[in-house]
Amino acid sequence: MRRIDKLLIANRGEIAARIIRTCRDMGIATVAIYADPDRNAPFVRQADEAIYIGPPMASASFLAIEKIVELARNAGADAIHPGYGFLAENADFAQACSDAGLIFIGPAPEAIRGMGNKSAAKEIARAAGVPVIPGFNAEGLSETAMARQCEELGFPVLLKAAAGGGGKGMRVVAATADLPAAIAAARREAKAAFGDDALLVERYIESPRHIEVQILGDQHGKLIHCFERECSIQRRYQKIIEEAPSPAVDETLRQRMTEAALRLGARLRYSSLGTVEMVLDPAGSFYFLEVNTRLQVEHPVTEAVTGLDLVRLQIEVAEGAPLPLEQKDVVLRGHAIECRLCAEDPAREFLPSTGRLAAWKAPELVGVRCDTGVISGSEITIHYDSLIAKLIAYDFTRPAAARRMAQALRQTRVQGLASNRDLLLRIVESDPFLRGELDTHFLVRHGDLCDVSPQQTEIDRTHALAAALWQQSRRREQAAVLRTIPSGWRNSPSQMQTVVFEARGNAIAIGYQMAGNHRATATIDGAPHSVAVIDAEPDAIALEIDGMQRRFSVTEAADTCFVYS
């Protein structure tokens, strides 16, 4: 065994904070690396040490292998944890760590290389007796030859980049006539993303579910699984909601899938955490997709239903310790759902949103975990992933976990830029989700969930009234003289004070006239309302509107009021 006393994290944001948390529990000192946008990020302050690595471009920072290895050695680190993304599945990085005498928290370079190319990975899976999707390797084939093989395979087909995943270089092709344009586009995208334009072609499975099995091996030959996760709800081939266990997998299917995953892991002599990803067709047949040789974004749902700390086990295995668990010790209890809260606008085809988080508040609920790398005032930039936070809800049953997740999303406050919070809430409350009717086309079939709720206009109108009265309360609180006089007071009451807000392109006219006892007469677009200010604080106001009391959180930035209720 090689003891790890200090660990450098070659990543950022929420996953860096997540790794720091476990290292602190284990008594391992941590070193963060940060680029310009993250100078004041929470993970930088949470680490024991933090080292500036350079400009925000990933090529000059989080993808700079030699620079990262040098920083680790200079800091006196024993090991490097790559997190996920960036260099997490880069065999050259794992080899560079080993060559420098550093422990790489992940599998051996050979295992990463074996799974890094989808064509090679399929052959290894086939040799391990794991079902693979019918298809062929298009490397070296002309368009004519590809068309001939596609016709033999049967349309529709799926073009995939051989060198990587994440939806890059992926195209669904319905007919021979569509192939040339799709091949050209897929090759361009694959080349830009992975430096390799080689393609795979597979039979396209209609309405598939995306199921993955978590495996964990040590350096002494022991290999176990930690059951499965369902990751079918995606946008642009990127997961946004994951859960464990899958509502589609019964005990018989679970045994078949986990046994297949373990056969593949044994074939690779796999040590560390790994995820065997599969597709499940409507008939109940499953096929190998790929192996992610790293910690997954969605690992918390597995931790919730097994009670394990997967990062701790990953580190201990890297030190050379034997797994402290037998397969019988890993028990599945309850249900967990994870939602990825991202800075993007679902109503505008998930256009990324950048800017400053005017206000951020995570939910504080029993059974809910929040992994995040932001605080109020954090900047979401164009340089990195749009992930703001991951919310994980756990309960004894799936319906109870979904209800808890909905409550957590309602309590989550993310203001200052567009986010997918409301979409996530609509999904977990939707009948198809609650019935477990999931597949990778869920958002295509239920595209209306991405639209702004019909109730949102009325909510905006109420929020505009709250903003207006909060502003007048702040003005009175900050007044140098006559602070107790109602805002806009006259000896002879006349016209109301007015303010016009804009929300989602709609103008909302608010009128109000304050009276004694914090009461007011108010109008919203001319419609009268009876209002009382129950309480006003620097970041909130409690109102009684037509006999209904509600509390509103308010943040003001420049010429914008962000209101939450």
Catalytic center residues = 294
| Nearest one of 233, 283, 251, 262 to 433, comparing CA atoms | 233
Place of tokens 């080993």: 98
Find all residues with CB under 8 Å of 509, minimum gap 6, and list them.
498, 499, 500, 523, 524, 525, 526
The number of CA neighbours under 13 Å toward the Cβ of 116 is 17
Residue length of the chain: 565
CA separation for the pair 522, 511 (Å, rounded): 5
Q: Strands (DSSP E) along 480-547, which ranges?
A: 497-503, 506-514, 519-524, 527-537, 540-545
Q: Specify the DSSP class assigned to residue 309.
A: -
* CA angle (300 as vertex; 299, 306 as ends), nearest 5: 95
CA 434 to the chain's CA centroid? 21
> Where are the alpha helices (H) located in 178-286, listed in sequence order?
179-194, 251-268
Q: Answer for the pair 259, 278: CB distance below 8 angstroms, yes or no.
A: no
- Please, are residues 405 and 345 in contact by the beta-carbon 8 Å criterion? no
Tell me if 48 sits within 8 A of 31, measured CB to CB.
yes
Query: Which of 328, 346, 365 lies closest to 420 in space, CA to CA?
Result: 346
Structure tokens given for 259: 């046994």
3-class SS at 1? coil
Q: Which residues pair with 371 in a beta bridge?
A: 390
132/249 Cα distance (integer angstroms): 19
Nearest by Cα to 176 from 139, 206, 201? 201
Q: What is the rounded (10 degree) CA torsion for 498, 500, 503, 506? A: 120
Q: How far is CA 386 from CA 242, 390, 438, in A?
A: 17, 12, 24
* Preceding omega of 107 cis (within 30 degrees of 0): no
CA distances from 27 to 48, 75, 318, 421 (A): 11, 17, 16, 36
